[in-house]
Chains A and B, each alone.
Chain A
Amino acid sequence: GNSVTQMEGPVTLSEEAFLTINCTYTATGYPSLFWYVQYPGEGLQLLLKATKADDKGSNKGFEATYRKETTSFHLEKGSVQVSDSAVYFCALSGAGSYQLTFGKGTKLSVIP
C-alpha cells in the first residue's frame, strides 16, 4: 500500500535559518504529492503540491520538488519566519485516487 515517511520533529530553528523537512514515499504508479500545514489552533491547509515527476510546487517561499528517482518530496524554505511555526504534513494521493495518505507530521518552531 501507499505510505509516507517524514522526518521526526520537533524542529526548532532561529528566524532566517534555512529549513528542510525530508519526505519520502512508497506508492505504485505516479502519485500526486502534497504538503499541508496546520498552524496553531487552525485547520489543515494545502501549502503546495506537485502532480508529476520533476514538478516543483511552491507557495509562501516554500518549495518542494517531486523526485521520482529518489521517491522524495522534501520541503525547503530559504529563510524561515516566526509565523512559519506550525506542523507540516507530507501527503500523497495514489494515481487515479482521491484518498490522501499522510506522514506523521513535523512540528516546526521558529524562534526570534
Chain B
Amino acid sequence: GAGVSQSPSNKVTEKGKDVELRCDPISGHTALYWYRQSLGQGLEFLIYFQGNSAPDKSGLPSDRFSAERTGGSVSTLTIQRTQQEDSAVYLCASSLSGLALFEQYFGPGTRLTVT
C-alpha cells in the first residue's frame, strides 16, 4: 500500500519568506508526527497529532513554526519568516495510534534550504 508521502521533496527559499510543507499519512493512521533532521542537531521531534485531540506542540522551536491537520488526515507544517538555521530535512511520520507499541512510518522528507 501507499506509504507516507511528503511534498515538495526539495524547497529552496529566500530568508524571510514563508514556506508550507505537506504530509499525507498512511490511510487509517490516527497519529501523525513531524520531525526535523539537521546536521548539527540530529533528529528532533517537532509536533504530534492524535485524532481530534489538541496537538502536542512542545517540540516547535519558535512561534514562527505552526502545523495543522485537516480532517484527521493531511498535515501542513508552516514556517514563517524563514531563517538560515531552519535549513534541514523535515520528516513526517504516521502510526496506527500514538502508543510506542505502534511503529512510526516515515516519509521521504522535504529538504528545505534557506538562502
Contact = CB atoms under 8 A, between A and B. Distances in A.
Main secondary structure of the interface of B (DSSP, over half): strand
B72 interface: no
Given A44-B91, A44-B106, A89 B43 contact: yes
B54 interface: no
Contacts of B109: 43
Contacts of B45: 99-101
A106 B29 CA distance: 29
B31 A98 contact: yes
A32 B106 contact: no
A12 interface: no
B100 interface: yes
Interface residues of B, number: 27
Interface residues of A, number: 24
Interface in B9-68: 31, 33, 35, 42-45, 48, 50, 56, 59
B42 A98 contact: no
Contacts of B56: 99
A111 interface: no
Contacts of A49: 103
Q: Which of A46, A51, A102 has the most CB of B within 10 A?
A: A102
A70 interface: no
Contacts of B99: 98
A100 B106 CA distance: 12
Interface centre among B44, B98, B104 (most CB of A within 10 A): B104
B2 interface: no
A100 B35 CA distance: 9
Nearest to A97: B100
